[in-house]
Amino acid sequence: MKGISVFNDLKRIGHDKVTAIGMGTWGIGGYENPDHSRDGESIEVLRYGLELGINLIDTAEFYGAGHSEEIVGEAIKGFEREEIFIISKVWPTHFGYDEAKRVARASAKRLGTYIDLYLLHWPGESWRKIEETLHALEDLVDEGLIRYIGVSNFDLELLKRSQEAMRKYEVVANEVKYSLKDRWPETSGLLDYMKREGIALIAYTPLEKGTLARNECLAGIGKKYGKTAAQVALNYLIWEENVIAIPKAGSKVHLEENFGAVGWRLSKDDREKARGCV
């Protein structure tokens, strides 16, 4: 695995290539900034990430009641749209054929552009609503409003059921909580299944809200590579061929550190040692 560089350390979502590390926007425009006073700073940070070469941004209608999408829309202005991959999501209260179409159009309007990957944010309580929503998204692909369809927080059984429900297109991604501390995708069989199916696993909360970045054991492993504990924790995830990590884009310093997780790989032995650090 030696010789990987920032520029070819890419993963696939559908037929597109994205950076192995993306930018998460949970909290941006919402609970961390309820008065929107730091919107300009958030836009600047996202733009800086794009300038670094990170081409994946993850947002949702639920984040800041849509304001996160507006911030993303401002941040991408002036960049080549085809070089950016935007993920957004529909909240379960908006599941259903007509309602899913309505809120997807509202998200695209806030973003000021089409959506590359549109996810069902959580399973919700009704399979019928999930199925209707998946079929609505297939029609939105035909309309050109979205490009790919995925799910989020779906376990193995529900992911398989969603695949079976598709009529024209495929489920290309499942965004789930996954970190060195919370390795349930590994133990549940979800990760192995998604690898076999060619489905991207997008890992959110990969640093466990910063606790892994302060892990002294991981920092010790990182010294061998000239890397930080956070970079080791992220590299552990993207070591898997179909895993993409989306730590929050909190600051320029954090973006630089996050992006330092690409372009190299832990050895198998050190990856095993990392498991023992948490």
Interacting residues of 60 by C-beta distance below 8 A, sequence separation 6+: 26, 68, 69, 88, 89, 91, 119, 121
Please answer whether residues 76 and 110 qualify as being in contact, where contact means their C-beta atoms are separated by less than 8 angstroms. no
CA distances from 131 to 144, 155, 213 (A): 20, 16, 39
- Residue 4's identity, in one-letter code, is I
Is 278:215 a contact under the CB 8 Å cutoff?
Answer: yes
Catalytic residues: 63
- Using an 8 Å Cβ cutoff, are 149 and 169 in contact? yes
Q: How far apart are CA 43 and CA 67, in angstroms?
A: 12
